[in-house]
Structure 1
Amino acid sequence: MSDSEVSEAVAQPRTAAGALFFDETGRVLLVKPTYKPGWEIPGGYMHPGETPSEAAAREVQEELGITPPIGRLLVADWAPHPTEGDKLLFVFDGGTLSPEWLAKINLDGVEIGEYAFHGVDQLDAHLIPRLARRVHAACTARTTAATAYLENGVPLT
């Protein structure tokens, strides 16, 4: 390796992972954080040494108090934030929550104050645009059995 290669800056994105859950009618589960306005999907930043799927499972357990199986990767999104820098965000398929799983939801009350299911056609009204694009792409990836790679929530064509 040359000296110029050693001193070259490399991206060090903040990485986060979440899971997309559905009810039996196909609505998406969203959570409302207590520390900021708006809705999100269950998830959060990864810990050192943690894989994206492990982070998604941990965040779901912390926020919702449940441990349903986390399925396949739906979306990987390179989404730099104007003030927070580079981000790499993963969304996994949490599947359809059965009535038994729904009955076990126990919100942490610290980070998450409430949850609700919303139709896919209502997502834009509840999510910030960059997250709405990511969740729409994840819903499409789920129905087409694909995995989407996005940049700022937009698929590359």
Structure 2
Amino acid sequence: MTANEMPPMATPRVAAGALFFNNEGHVLLVRPSYKNHWDIPGGYVEPGESPRAACVREIEEELGLTTAVGPMLVVDWAPAEHEGDKLLFIFDAGSLNTEQEQAIRFADGELTEWRYVAVGDLERYGPPRLTRRLRAAVAARYSGNAVYAEHGNAL
């Protein structure tokens, strides 16, 4: 089979994000300067970069923190109307201690603030599919089983 005979293949954009928690089980959300809603720290995977490596890099770029991330919690097939096909990975980043929280710096200007949000209040901070994705990730963390989702709905 030649290159011209190959069937079309998906070429999704790939992004990775970190799910941080506080001692009360609240999720750390950040406010991007370029979005109308809150999100989790993270961003697009660069060519040749793994989703996990992208997540660690984005934490450092966005929050100024150097930290390891734990297991993958969810991978979400989440195509967007104006962006095409997307695969979104969320990794468990554990809890930040007081020293780490105080060290958060928005060095690149992408983010304007951060806060912890109760899981039951997530819908007030982002679009429904983001809320569904985050809830799926929280459930995966507590069950110990990573999940696959589509449009934020765990399957």
Would you say 1:12 and 2:11 are equivalent positions?
A: yes
Q: What is the alpha-carbon distance in structure 2 between the residues aligned to residue 61 and residue 48 of structure 1?
A: 18
Match of 1:34 in 2: 33
Would you say 1:138 and 2:99 are equivalent positions?
A: no
Displacement of 1:3 in angstroms is 7.2
Match of 1:58 in 2: 57
TM-score by length of 1: 0.94
The answer for unaligned runs of 5 or more in structure 1 is none
| Structure 1 letter corresponding to 2:76 | D
Match of 1:90 in 2: 89
Would you say 1:100 and 2:99 are equivalent positions?
A: yes
> 1:24 touches 1:98 (CA, 8 Å); kept in 2?
no
Q: Secondary structure at the match of 1:63?
A: helix
Displacement of 1:147 in angstroms is 0.2
| Structure 2 letter corresponding to 1:17 | A
The range that moved more, 107-116 or 36-45, is 107-116
Change over 3 Å in CA distance of 1:63–1:10 after alignment to 2: same
Q: What is the alpha-carbon distance in structure 1 between the residues aligned to residue 105 and residue 3 of structure 2?
A: 53
Q: What is the alpha-carbon distance in structure 2 between the residues aligned to residue 2 and residue 63 of structure 1?
A: 43
> 1:65 touches 1:105 (CA, 8 Å); kept in 2?
yes
Root-mean-square deviation (CA, aligned residues, Å) is 1.4
> 1:42 touches 1:63 (CA, 8 Å); kept in 2?
yes
The range that moved more, 11-20 or 99-108, is 99-108
Displacement of 1:30 in angstroms is 0.3
Would you say 1:49 and 2:48 are equivalent positions?
A: yes
Displacement of 1:67 in angstroms is 1.2
Name the count of aligned residue pairs: 155
Q: What is the alpha-carbon distance in structure 1 between the residues aligned to residue 103 and residue 137 of structure 2?
A: 25
> 2:61 touches 2:108 (CA, 8 Å); kept in 1?
no
Displacement of 1:41 in angstroms is 0.3
Displacement of 1:96 in angstroms is 1.0
| Structure 1 letter corresponding to 2:91 | F
Percent sequence identity over aligned pairs: 48
Q: Secondary structure at the match of 2:74?
A: strand
| Structure 1 letter corresponding to 2:143 | T
1:61-118 CA distance string (max 9 Å, x none): 1110001221100000011111211000000000011112112111225100110110
TM-score by length of 2: 0.95
